[in-house]
């Protein structure tokens, strides 16, 4: 592990440990140990075309520390993943999984410090063998380590307006030669007065980011904006703006262009909202459309965005956003937990579902590090999800597509899929269903179809399709013990060809 990220991770973990030991802020902390033990039979332990059957035993002890208060809110979870193979001991391995994030309020409602750290196994390329099975070990896997620190402030500047400022530092490294260790810095600030002239308001803002990697590449961009806002009714508001963008990611030299755009927000009820914005950039028109509606027993969301994306531009929130694959798995497990634990709050359901996934070694950390974010690209994302919850049944449908077109840059050579392809297109379709058999047990089924397509610089294309099907029986065996029986079938074709059938039994206990 590189010295820089090792030092920052140690500082974050040590700070949490010290606060827990000394109870420095007089807060209520919660710490718990947990362990999961599983046995899996698989007919393709390496998920390759030449794979062979194996019995795999996994023993995964872990610890979770969390706090939620007015001053400090966050959690840190660490897990030691150990897998032991019966037929191929060369596949035995031990790996560390870490997922932590938190916010420290330094001055009430004014000054904050956000931090996050993670260590997890990730897929190096979208066109290689999938690595979501914790016992699988192949050339497409890499341990990815990341850490982020972000101070921020917000306050009123007299009668002038509201000030908001944020600075972020992120560092990501891995043990794969296909991914560069990358450090990024991003900042943004704004001064806003939404009611300077009654319903008419104004704002000015600035933002920027820079990125450097161990391959010797660097890049940066800066954006200045000013605009007007208008509140037509409490439900409707509009904005228009213009500004100047400076960047060096398109051809390696600094360029400046004028940008402009506008948007509208509509909130007809506490359960629904629509937000639309568009703006002119060097790559063309970008947009951000978000719609959400929550019914008494269902919810529906639609998102569509187009913008320049990179590891540098994602910032703290983008880096730890759920991937489509993780979001689908999380929704399935949440439906199982709800069915077996009707008295839990929604936050408790989410926490328990994330623990179950973490017990399997599935973490929400970095989404497809590979490289979708290690080079600059024009990213188009579209997603639709619908969740229907009944007394005993939960149904979730999800469809998403991410298309990334590489922006040529002679000075910033990212390592990964966008080095080999000028365009990477990923689509995921999933169906999740859960049925409560008893107040403490449930049966669920999941189906998903994913496709990754890459277009090479010289026009040739590479395609990979994967189909996953799973059946899970989940039951509560005690106040702090859960058991799961599952069957999974995976099939991949194209650039990575294999099939796998696996049967697993898992027991998870929290002390």
Residue 312 clears pLDDT 50, i.e. is over it = no
Find the mean pLDDT for residues 161-185: 81
Q: Which residues of 107-143 are buried (b: 16+ CB within 10 A; e: fewer)?
A: eeeeebebbbbbbbbbbbbbbbbbbbbbbbbbebbbb
The arithmetic mean of pLDDT across residues 73-90, rounded, is: 83
CA proximity to 64, closest of 92, 24, 36: 36
Quick one: pLDDT at residue 1?
Answer: 42
Instruction: Please state the pTM of the whole predicted model.
Output: 0.75
Higher pLDDT, 225 or 271: 225
Q: Give the pLDDT confidence of 470-491 residue by residue, as tens digits.
A: 888 888 888 888 888 989 898 9
One DSSP character per residue, 112-142 reads: EEEEEEEEEEEES-TTS----STT---TTEE
DSSP collapsed to 3 states, 341-398:
CCCCCHHHHHHHHHHHHHHCCCCCCCCCHHHHCCCCEEEEEEEEEEEEECCCEEEEEE
Element (H, E) at 418: helix 417-420
Residue 91 gets which letter from DSSP?
A: G
For 116-169, write each residue's pLDDT tens digit: 887 877 766 777 666 556 666 666 677 778 888 889 999 999 889 999 999 988
Residue positions counted in the chain: 511
Structure confidence at residue 172 (pLDDT)? 78
- Read off the tokens for 467: 């189909």
Phi-psi region of 131 (alpha: psi -120 to 50; beta: other; left: phi over 0): alpha
What average pLDDT score do residues 484-503 get?
A: 88
Distances (CA, A) of 444 to 93, 133, 170, 487: 30, 19, 38, 11
Residue 317, pLDDT above cutoff 50: no
pLDDT for 164: 93
pLDDT score at 162: 92
Alpha-carbon span 348 to 385, nearest angstrom: 22
Answer for the pair 475, 340: CB distance below 8 angstroms, yes or no: yes
Q: Which residues of 278-289 are buried (b: 16+ CB within 10 A; e: fewer)?
A: ebebbeeebebb
Cβ 67 vs Cβ 160: under 8 Å = no
User: Pick the residue with more confidence: 457 or 485?
Assistant: 485
Q: In which band, very low, low, confident or very high, does the pLDDT at 345 lie, cut at 50, 70 and 90?
A: low
Query: 104: closest CA among 140, 151, 60?
Result: 151
The SS3 call for residue 339 is helix
Mean per-residue pLDDT for 398-420? 68
Q: Please tell me the predicted confidence (pLDDT) of residue 319.
A: 30
Distance CA 419, CA 457 (A): 9
Q: Where are the beta strands (DSSP E) in 158-254?
A: 161-174, 182-197, 200-213, 218-231, 236-247
User: Alpha-carbon distance 508 to 350, whole Å?
Assistant: 16
Q: What's the whole-number mean pLDDT along residues 400-415?
A: 65
- Mean pLDDT for all residues in the chain: 77
Encode pLDDT of 28-52 as tens digits.
778 888 888 999 999 888 777 777 8
More confident residue, 245 or 144: 245
Indicate whether 412 pLDDT > 60.
no
Residue 409 has pLDDT above 60, yes or no: no
Residues of the chain above pLDDT 70, percent: 74
């Amino acid at each position: 592990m590189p010295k820089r990220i090792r030092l920052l991770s140690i500082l974050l973990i040590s700070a949490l440990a010290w606060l827990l030991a000394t109870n420095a802020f007089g807060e209520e902390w919660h710490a718990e140990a947990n362990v999961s033990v599983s046995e899996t039979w698989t007919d393709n332990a390496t998920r390759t075309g030449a794979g062979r059957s194996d019995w795999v035993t996994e023993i995964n002890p872990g610890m979770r520390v969390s706090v939620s208060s007015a001053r400090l809110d966050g959690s840190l979870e660490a897990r030691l993943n150990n897998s032991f193979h019966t037929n191929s001991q060369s596949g035995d391995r031990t790996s560390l999984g870490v997922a932590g994030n938190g916010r420290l309020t330094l001055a009430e409602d004014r000054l904050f410090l956000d931090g996050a750290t993670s260590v997890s196994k990730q897929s190096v390329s979208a066109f290689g063998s999938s690595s979501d099975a914790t016992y699988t070990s192949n050339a497409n896997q890499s341990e990815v380590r990341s850490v982020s620190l972000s101070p921020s402030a917000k306050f009123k500047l007299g009668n002038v307006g509201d000030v908001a400022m944020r600075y972020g530092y992120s560092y990501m490294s891995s043990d794969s030669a296909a991914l560069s260790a990358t450090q990024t810095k991003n900042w943004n600030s704004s001064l806003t007065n939404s009611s300077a002239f009654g319903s008419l308001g104004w704002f000015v803002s600035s933002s920027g980011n820079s990125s450097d990697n161990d391959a010797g590449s660097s890049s940066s961009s800066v954006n200045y904006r000013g605009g007007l806002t208008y509140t037509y009714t409490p439900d409707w508001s509009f904005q228009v703006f213009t500004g100047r963008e400076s960047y060096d990611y398109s051809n390696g030299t600094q360029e400046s262009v004028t940008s402009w755009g506008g948007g509208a927000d509509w909130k007809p009820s506490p359960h629904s909202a629509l937000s639309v914005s568009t703006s002119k950039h060097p790559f063309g028109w970008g947009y951000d459309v978000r719609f959400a509606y929550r019914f008494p027993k269902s919810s529906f969301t639609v998102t569509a965005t187009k913008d320049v994306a990179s590891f540098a531009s994602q910032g703290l929130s983008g880096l730890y956003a759920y991937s489509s694959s993780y979001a689908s798995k999380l929704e399935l497990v949440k439906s199982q937990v709800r069915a077996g634990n009707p008295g839990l709050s929604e936050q408790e359901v989410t926490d328990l579902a994330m623990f179950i996934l973490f017990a399997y070694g599935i973490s929400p950390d970095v989404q497809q590090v590979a490289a979708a974010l290690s080079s600059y690209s024009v990213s188009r994302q579209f997603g639709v999800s619908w969740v229907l919850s009944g007394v005993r049944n939960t149904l979730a449908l999800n469809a998403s597509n991410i298309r990334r077109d590489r922006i040529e840059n002679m000075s910033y050579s990212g390592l990964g899929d966008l080095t080999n392809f000028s365009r990477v297109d990923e689509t995921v379709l999933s169906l999740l269903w859960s049925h409560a058999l008893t107040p403490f047990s449930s049966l669920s089924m999941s189906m998903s179809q994913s496709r990754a397509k890459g277009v090479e610089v010289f026009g040739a294309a590479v395609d990979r399709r994967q189909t996953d099907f799973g059946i899970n029986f989940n039951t509560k065996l005690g106040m702090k013990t859960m058991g799961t029986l599952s069957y999974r079938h995976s099939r991949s074709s194209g650039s990575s060809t294999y099939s796998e059938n696996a049967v697993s039994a898992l027991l998870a206990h929290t002390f």
